[in-house]
Amino acid sequence: MIWTPGAARAARRIVTAAALGGGGVTALGAATYGLLLAEAVVARRLVGRPVSEDGPPSDGVYGDEHGEPISMAVLGDSTSVGLGMTDPMDTPGVNLALGLAAVAERPVRLTVVGRSGAISRDLDAQVERALDARPDLAVIFIGANDVTTQTRPAIAVRHLQDAVRRLRESGAQVVVGTCPDLGTVRPIAQPLRWVTRRWSRQLAAAQTIAVIEAGGRTVSFADLLGPSFMTNPAEMFGPDRFHPSARGYLQAAYTVLPSVCAALDLWPEPSPERVEGSQYLLAAMAVEEPGTEVTATRVAGRAVGPHGRWAMLLRRRRDVVSPHT
């Protein structure tokens, strides 16, 4: 299914409001949201607690290869730290570091500055810490908590864009895993599930546009984990039935890894399937296709066309080499 042009227009309004400094639109009116609070309370009671309040310490150098390490910083929310895991080897950051080291044939120095519960506004402080590591590459996972805390999309997008811009100005390549589809969380019932799905995908489309304009690239999580989570929740969800299990985190890391390698000009695969067009249209398409990458491009030598900045949507292979082999 492809989003209608209305979805692209909604994402454009959010980004425009962010650029102008306004609060922007919300997916719900206050009255509608209030009617759903009771269901949200029930869902929260059904969701358990993870085994810890944060992920295991995972900073370090990974990979058996020789040479100057690639410096990689991971920013964002609970996904960035692997909340619920006890072994660092099960966290997305370590899986990404090992995968990147295998492809680059160089070790990777990993610095994780993300924090469980973080919203996009918290990226400002995280970037400060990340820059201390002088990263060659920064990976950001953010957005879910902006939805659950009802942060206005334009405010969330503005903080993300500022973070990407600062990292790019430091010389780092930036890959952003956009807001996942929260409609896959089983304890959330209808109609709240439909509402959170609509809101999270609207935010993801706006994030895509903002990141492209700041010089980064995005990878859509969409309902990446949805089918697997729905059919095999015991294996893909962690004990709290909200955050991923070790296998769920691994699947998320493998989805981002091809774009991480491509950002550093390391990806050895043949050219992936690509679609070029307006960034607004491709952002709307990407939120319906998990694993797709969107990045800026030029058409006929121009970066901007009649309907906005030109972008390129890439459908990359995800059957990458396991970092643990």
Active site residues: 78, 240, 243
Cα distance between residue 204 and residue 312, in whole Å: 16
Going 85 to 86 to 90 to 94, the CA torsion angle's sign is positive
Question: Which residue in 261, 248, 264, 287 sits closest to 100, CA to CA?
Answer: 261
Q: State how far the alpha carbon of 162 is from the alpha carbons of 24, 186, 230, 267, 321, in Å.
A: 17, 33, 35, 27, 33
Q: State how far the alpha carbon of 98 is from the alpha carbons of 264, 283, 291, 324, in Å.
A: 15, 29, 19, 7
Q: State how far the alpha carbon of 155 is from the alpha carbons of 20, 22, 167, 256, 283, in Å.
A: 10, 8, 19, 25, 18
Q: What is the DSSP letter of 64?
A: S
- Residue written as token pair 């990878």: 219
Report the run of H or E that residue 277 belongs to, with start and end: strand 273-278
